[in-house]
Amino acid sequence: MGIAPEAQVETVAPHEARAPSSPKQVAKDSLIGKRIAKLDAPDKASGKTRYIHDMDLPGQLYGKILRSSRVHARIVRIDTSRARRLPGVHAVITAADVPYQRPLGVGKDHLPLKSDRVRSPRDEIAAVAADSPEIAAAALKLIEVEYEDLPPVFDAAAALEPGAPVLHEGKPDNIAMTFDYSHGDIARGEAESDVVIEDTFRLHYVTHCCMGVSGVIADFDASGSLTLYSQTQVPFLHKREFAEVLGIDPGRIRIIQPPIGGGFGSKLDIYPFEPIAIFLARATKRPVKLVYTREEEFAVSPTRQPVVLRLRSGAKKDGTLTFREVETLHDNGAYTSWGATTPFVIMQTISSLYRVPHCKYHTSAVYTNNPYAGSFRGYGNLQGTFAVESHMDKLAEALGMDPLEFRLQNAQEPGEVTGQGMHFKSCGFKDCLRTAAGRSDFQRKHREYRAAQAKSGRYKRGVGIASMLHVGGGAKIYPSDGCGTILKIDDFAHVTVMTGASEIGQGSETVIAQLVCEELGVPLDAVTVVNNDTDITPWDVGVHASRTTFIAGNSAIGAARKAREKVMAAAAKAIGYDAAALDLRQGMIVRAADGESIMPLAKLLRSLHFSDKAELVMTTHYYEPPSQHQDKGFKGDVSAAYAWASQVIEVEVDTETGIVRMRNVWGAHDVGRVLNRLGIEGQVEGGVVMGQGYALTEELIVERGVTRNPAFRDYKLVTAPEIPEMDITFIETMDGEGPQGAKGVGEAPAICIAAATANAIYNATGVRIYRLPFTPENVYRALREGGSKK
């Protein structure tokens, strides 16, 4: 077959125009590891990007939700008649108006609209759709609700006591979920120990504070199919769940994800506001937009899981860890969302961050009338690492060992299969430890600051180290952990990648484009990534577990390689070369041996269309990582790869006020390989500061079930002047399964910060604090009391 005649009108793509005119040598132009600007950044920086808040549909109404004014009560009567009569109100709905609603969420214990009982002040009772948000808000005030108070319970331990108020029928003990895990023999481990310590750690409520508040637009077409403009991080799973909750065919639900103003795990579960917006749209036959206020966002969004964690650890004189025994109590709040399942991750840190021969873990998530916790970047690992790494320091001290040496002695190495069955194929843990410690001069500072503790003076300096293990190659939580890609190359050599993976600001869109460029030898501006419409994109389990680069990246590579094979075969045929002797570089088909350009890729592609066997280059690929499902005892390898990091933090403690200033963070991250240096630095810097907020400034204050500080005024995110100096090193272990060797990084940087800070405060002051956050008052009090011992 010869080259078919060109189209009558020759159109040249911009990138094609820049391609060198043949014949010429074309160099390989890899983008991997470079500083690549995010593809969506120019629009975002110009104010052009349209988030849900910025979208309006014709005929749209505005939804608002009425929530309980009681903490725990029976609903005796709801009267919506006055609200219905308010001009501009199109619908007022209560549970009675929605006969088909089903419980939603991880525990399937949560009705979108509560029918007979409220269990928290977050509880949704009624909703209004009106011509404006103001009218909707005014209508809420006209709804009368009569309650009969029930006895509340605000403490997870108290909720376990006999006679405690029961939150859910069928759960007489208030236990929402339990996890049990063990390997080895704790009794033996304890018998072998020369040192045993036990402490209780208390982790607080924090919340995501996405800058874009929660919102949704629900729109039914005339045939009853639903289009949902949603911020969800898991569109395909939610399609199915929405169908269940609504009682409609999942095939009639289309989820479109406009750009979102931050995710961080907050949008991994279905929360009532989305089904409620859908109910309102169904009731009014109009599009309904429902957007939170910031106060609502604080008062009703899921939180990070608060935990009370009792940890017993032992070690031998020679510095070998012997055992760990853990019991945790999770305040589950009124309903079960992902927070209840964080033990799944906590136990991995307990069992496998260091080599521990004997391990036992038990946890209960217990219903109370408090807020419920969702998933939040790091997913339990901040909590678990805080306890484990505090204990690593305490054990080292009890043994008279240097904290770094003690950690190195027990750190995991490549090839290890842990007691839990996690297989560490690539593992840069020891490199991380040595790098972070070396760059910070950790050992010298640690000795000197400890020696200076006794000296008088207002300010004390300290350094602390902590490390973390997290999934870096997806996580087998659902039946599949896969992601699909559809790739097409048009006749101007423009590549469209349709991926199931969602972009939530983290930069996956750009990384996926880079990986495709690497395979197809096209410039970055020749790639468009489509990633936000369930009617177009293939299946994926969502953006969570630091999985997107790894899973969606591998999936995109798979599709690109198939496309490349097609292109090369066609090129070989057209040119009369062996396909193996050809390469694709900068939009050109070149001779592999010397880069001699042969023809523009676009020209070849056009010729395919106009040949007698017209063909489009279009491929699909589904990638499922080579990990396994854990057994019922949680044994097994949940991820295709694992990420490691060590961080050293230097603090200055003002002993007269309790203010802890985070001066420096030295981080070393085993990321497999850096794909986009700009993007990965941004992930780490942002994660460090999020960890800083968790450690020092953020606390959602919940008193008797009510959030007392639902505003940025009193919920303190870290501001620019407070950030530490950061020194970040990437350890490239080139993971065999990773896309170009990369592993996940999204959650890792936030995980060790609180733990390293605790160790640094101890190094500065000699006082160990077991409770977060290290706000000035908490630290000051601890210094006065000489540490909150046990």
Partner 1 sequence: MTADTYLAPKRLDEALEALRGGEATILAGGTDLMVQSQSGKTPIGPKLVNIRRIAGLAGVVRADGEIHIGALTTIAELLEHELVRTHLPSLAEACDHFASSQIRNAGTLGGNVCNASPAGDTLVPLLALGASVELAAKPDAAVTTRAMPLGEFIVGPGKTQRKPAELLTAIRIPVPAAGGVQRFFKFGTRPALDIAAISLGLVTVKEGGVLRHVRLALGAVAPVPMRGVRAESMLEGRRLDPALIEAAAAAARDEVRPISDVRASDWYRRELVRNMVKRMLTDVSQS
Partner 2 sequence: MSAKVEIGFNLNGAQRTVEVPREMSTLDMLREVIGLTGTKYACGEGECGACTIIVDGRSVNACLMFAPDCDGRSVTTVEGVVDTPLGERLRDAFVQAGAVQCGFCTPGMMVQAKHLIDMHDGKLGREAIKRGIEGNLCRCTGYVKIVDAIAAAAQPKG
DSSP letter at 250 equals G
The reply on whether position 716 binds partner 1 by CB under 8 A is yes
Amino acid, res. 569: A
Residue 571 CB, nearest approach to partner 1 (Å): 58
* DSSP 3-state of 380: coil
Determine which residue in the list 781, 785, 786, 789 makes contact with partner 1, applying CB under 8 A.
Answer: 781
* Closest by CA position to 3, among listed 602, 621, 652, 532: 602
Amino acid, res. 637: D
In 316-384 the beta strands, taken as DSSP E runs, fall at: 321-333, 358-367
- By CB under 8 A, the residues from 236 to 265 that bind partner 2 are 259-264
φ/ψ of 726, rounded to 5, equals: -120, 140
Residue 660 CB, nearest approach to partner 1 (Å): 8
Residue with tokens 């629900």: 218
Determine which residue in the list 53, 310, 566, 635 makes contact with partner 2, applying CB under 8 A.
Answer: 53
Burial 351-387 (b: 16+ CB within 10 A, else e): bbbbbbbbbbbbbbbbbbbbbbbbbbbbbbbbbbbbb
Cβ proximity to partner 1, 733 vs 775, nearer residue? 775
Give me the half-sphere count of Cα atoms (radius 13 Å) on the Cβ side of residue 781: 12
Q: How far apart are CA 665 and CA 715, in angstroms?
A: 23
Rounded to the nearest 5 percent, the helix, strand and coil shares of the chain are 30, 25, 45
* Closest by CA position to 115, among listed 79, 74, 150: 74
Residue with tokens 């044994």: 635
Bridge partners, residue 124, by sequence: 67
The option from partner 2, partner 1, none interacting with 565 (CB < 5 to 8 A, set by class) reads none
The reply on whether position 69 binds partner 1 by CB under 8 A is no
Residue 261 CB, nearest approach to partner 2 (Å): 3
Determine which residue in the list 38, 122, 254, 391 makes contact with partner 2, applying CB under 8 A.
Answer: 38
DSSP letter at 505 equals S
Determine which residue in the list 11, 25, 69, 719 makes contact with partner 1, applying CB under 8 A.
Answer: 719
CA dihedral sign, ordered 388, 390, 396, 402: positive
Cβ proximity to partner 1, 18 vs 781, nearer residue? 781
- By CB under 8 A, the residues from 435 to 464 that bind partner 1 are 458
Determine which residue in the list 688, 745, 769, 772 makes contact with partner 2, applying CB under 8 A.
Answer: 688
The option from partner 2, partner 1, none interacting with 790 (CB < 5 to 8 A, set by class) reads none
In 259-413 the beta strands, taken as DSSP E runs, fall at: 288-291, 307-315, 321-333, 358-367
The angle, 0 to 180 degrees and rounded to 10, between the axes of the packed helices 442-452 and 753-765 is 40
Determine which residue in the list 11, 25, 132, 657 makes contact with partner 1, applying CB under 8 A.
Answer: 657
The reply on whether position 689 binds partner 2 by CB under 8 A is yes
Determine which residue in the list 9, 454, 593, 720 makes contact with partner 2, applying CB under 8 A.
Answer: 720
Cβ proximity to partner 2, 572 vs 678, nearer residue? 678
Determine which residue in the list 54, 134, 448, 714 makes contact with partner 1, applying CB under 8 A.
Answer: 714
Judged by CB under 8 A, which stretch of 333-341, 442-450, 543-551, 706-714 contacts partner 2? 706-714
Helix (H) or strand (E) holding 389: helix 381-399
Determine which residue in the list 466, 696, 728, 751 makes contact with partner 1, applying CB under 8 A.
Answer: 696
The reply on whether position 681 binds partner 2 by CB under 8 A is yes
The option from partner 2, partner 1, none interacting with 780 (CB < 5 to 8 A, set by class) reads partner 1
Judged by CB under 8 A, which stretch of 24-32, 105-113, 254-262, 777-785 contacts partner 1? 777-785
What is the DSSP annotation of 416-474?
-B-TT--B-SS--HHHHHHHHHHHHTHHHHHHHHHHHTTS--SEEEEEEEEEEEEE-S-
Determine which residue in the list 189, 212, 472, 672 makes contact with partner 2, applying CB under 8 A.
Answer: 212
Q: How far apart are CA 635 and CA 619, in angstroms?
A: 37
* Closest by CA position to 386, among listed 306, 440, 446, 447: 306
Compute CA distances 212 → 161, 297, 375, whole Å.
40, 10, 17
Residue 298 CB, nearest approach to partner 2 (Å): 10
Site string for partner 2, 487-516 (x = CB under 8 A): -----------------xxxx---------
The option from partner 1, partner 2, none interacting with 781 (CB < 5 to 8 A, set by class) reads partner 1
Give me the half-sphere count of Cα atoms (radius 13 Å) on the Cβ side of residue 114: 31
The option from partner 1, partner 2, none interacting with 746 (CB < 5 to 8 A, set by class) reads none
Residue 668 CB, nearest approach to partner 2 (Å): 17
Bridge partners, residue 367, by sequence: 333
* DSSP 3-state of 744: coil
The reply on whether position 456 binds partner 2 by CB under 8 A is no
Judged by CB under 8 A, which stretch of 223-231, 315-323, 653-661, 753-761 contacts partner 1? 653-661
DSSP letter at 637 equals -
The reply on whether position 709 binds partner 1 by CB under 8 A is yes
Residue 210 CB, nearest approach to partner 1 (Å): 19
Q: Is-contact 654 14, C-beta < 8 A? A: no
Q: How far apart are CA 355 and CA 186, in angstroms?
A: 14
Determine which residue in the list 701, 725, 785, 789 makes contact with partner 1, applying CB under 8 A.
Answer: 701
What is the DSSP annotation of 99-161?
TT---BTTTT-B-SS-SSEE-STT-EEEEEEESSHHHHHHHHHT-EEEEEE------HHHHHS
Judged by CB under 8 A, which stretch of 398-406, 531-539, 695-703, 752-760 contacts partner 1? 695-703
Count of residues that interact with partner 1, criterion CB under 8 A:
21
Cβ proximity to partner 2, 48 vs 613, nearer residue? 48
Cβ proximity to partner 2, 413 vs 725, nearer residue? 725
The reply on whether position 45 binds partner 1 by CB under 8 A is no
* Closest by CA position to 91, among listed 296, 247, 290, 282: 282
Determine which residue in the list 4, 682, 780, 787 makes contact with partner 1, applying CB under 8 A.
Answer: 780
Tokens representing 598?
């042969």
The reply on whether position 704 binds partner 1 by CB under 8 A is no
Determine which residue in the list 60, 336, 531, 697 makes contact with partner 1, applying CB under 8 A.
Answer: 697
Judged by CB under 8 A, which stretch of 26-34, 334-342, 709-717, 763-771 contacts partner 2? 709-717
The reply on whether position 787 binds partner 2 by CB under 8 A is no
Cβ proximity to partner 1, 528 vs 709, nearer residue? 709
Residue 780 CB, nearest approach to partner 1 (Å): 6
The option from partner 2, partner 1, none interacting with 212 (CB < 5 to 8 A, set by class) reads partner 2
Residue 623 CB, nearest approach to partner 2 (Å): 25
Query: Which distant-in-sequence residues (6+ apart) come within 8 Å of 628 by Cβ?
Result: 476, 636, 637, 638
The reply on whether position 659 binds partner 1 by CB under 8 A is yes
Bridge partners, residue 583, by sequence: 590
The reply on whether position 41 binds partner 2 by CB under 8 A is yes
Residue 296 CB, nearest approach to partner 1 (Å): 13
The option from partner 2, partner 1, none interacting with 656 (CB < 5 to 8 A, set by class) reads partner 1
The option from partner 2, partner 1, none interacting with 701 (CB < 5 to 8 A, set by class) reads partner 1
Q: Which residues bind partner 2 (CB under 8 A)?
A: 35, 37-38, 40-51, 53-54, 208-213, 259-264, 293-294, 504-507, 678-679, 681-682, 685-690, 711-713, 717, 719-721, 723, 726
Q: Which residues bind partner 1 (CB under 8 A)?
A: 458, 656-657, 659, 696-697, 701, 708-709, 713-714, 716, 719, 721-722, 775-777, 780-781, 784
